[in-house]
């Protein structure tokens, strides 16, 4: 089995899309852990319903939560192949990122390297895209390194937004594509079809 951990903070629609794909056409992939920085959110509820082990994460040690060092050990013990950030809003400490080099990916709801970085999350991203009058947007799946939204890009999908009237419309169009792109990339990882060559990422 190809073992993944999914990090979440909010409603969890990408987590649901991953689980749906696993149930339909990705049966070599297993979500072995859901990690959340927020105890009560849609994603945590959903993982409980599905019986997936769920870990609450905090920067400092407190009851009912694990800290990053504890989490690192848990994920090592579970022999996690890939960490997927699906709407995870907290900055991850550098030593955690170093421990999982090229094993952490993130989905961002715009076409990086534009509209990324600190503060660029949720509707802020789509408002910036809308106000710049960008004519295309779309999700980006990228490796996570020590700088926000900076790691090498793995996959993107362009969406025509030339006729939208609001940032919310962009959000909905992009989210629909996120739900396809993220499971697609995870499947490719599980098939060992993601390759870094010539300083670029190739999907074979």
Catalogue the active-site residues: 108
HEC-encoded secondary structure of 153-174:
EEEECCEECCCCCCHHHHHHHH
Using CB under 6 A as the binding rule, whether residue 38 contacts ligand GRF is answered as: no
Choices 24-32, 45-53, 101-109, 145-153; region in contact with ligand GRF by CB under 6 A: 101-109
Cβ nearer to ligand GRF, comparing 10 with 151 = 10
User: What letter would DSSP give residue 196?
Assistant: E
Using CB under 6 A as the binding rule, whether residue 178 contacts ligand GRF is answered as: yes
Out of 52, 80, 108, 190, the residue judged to bind ligand GRF by CB under 6 A: 108
Closest separation between CB of residue 106 and ligand GRF, Å?
A: 7
Sole residue written with tokens 């072995």: 32
Out of 4, 6, 7, 13, the residue judged to bind ligand GRF by CB under 6 A: 13
Please work out the total of residues on this chain that contact ligand GRF, with binding judged by CB under 6 A. Answer: 14
Q: How many CA atoms lie within 13 A of 48 on its CB side?
A: 10
d(CA 184, CA 95): 28
- For 143, 156, 202, the CA distances from 167, given in Å and listed in that order, are 26, 19, 31
Q: Beta-carbon neighbour count of residue 133 at 10 Å? A: 8
Using CB under 6 A as the binding rule, whether residue 183 contacts ligand GRF is answered as: no
d(CA 190, CA 181): 14
Closest separation between CB of residue 139 and ligand GRF, Å?
A: 6
Using CB under 6 A as the binding rule, whether residue 11 contacts ligand GRF is answered as: yes
Out of 86, 105, 186, 194, the residue judged to bind ligand GRF by CB under 6 A: 86
């Amino acid at each position: 089995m190809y073992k993944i951990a999914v990090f979440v903070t909010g409603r969890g629609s990408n987590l649901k899309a991953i689980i749906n794909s696993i149930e339909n056409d990705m049966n070599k992939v297993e979500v072995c852990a859901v990690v959340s920085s927020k105890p009560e959110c849609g994603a945590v509820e959903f993982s409980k319903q599905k019986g997936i082990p769920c870990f609450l994460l905090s920067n400092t040690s407190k009851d009912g939560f694990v800290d990053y060092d504890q989490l690192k050990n848990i994920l090592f013990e579970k022999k996690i192949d890939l960490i997927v950030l699906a709407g995870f809003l907290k900055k991850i400490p550098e030593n955690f990122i170093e421990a999982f080099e090229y094993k952490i990916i993130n989905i961002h709801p715009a076409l990086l390297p534009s509209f990324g970085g600190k503060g660029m999350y949720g509707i802020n991203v789509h408002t910036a895209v809308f106000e710049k009058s960008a004519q295309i947007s779309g999700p980006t799946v990228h490796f996570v390194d020590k700088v926000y939204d900076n790691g090498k890009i793995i996959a993107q999908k362009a969406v025509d937004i030339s006729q939208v009237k609001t940032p919310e419309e962009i959000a909905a169009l992009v989210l629909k594509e996120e739900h396809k792109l993220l499971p697609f990339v995870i499947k490719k990882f599980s098939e060992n079809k993601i390759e870094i060559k010539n300083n670029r990422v190739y999907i074979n």
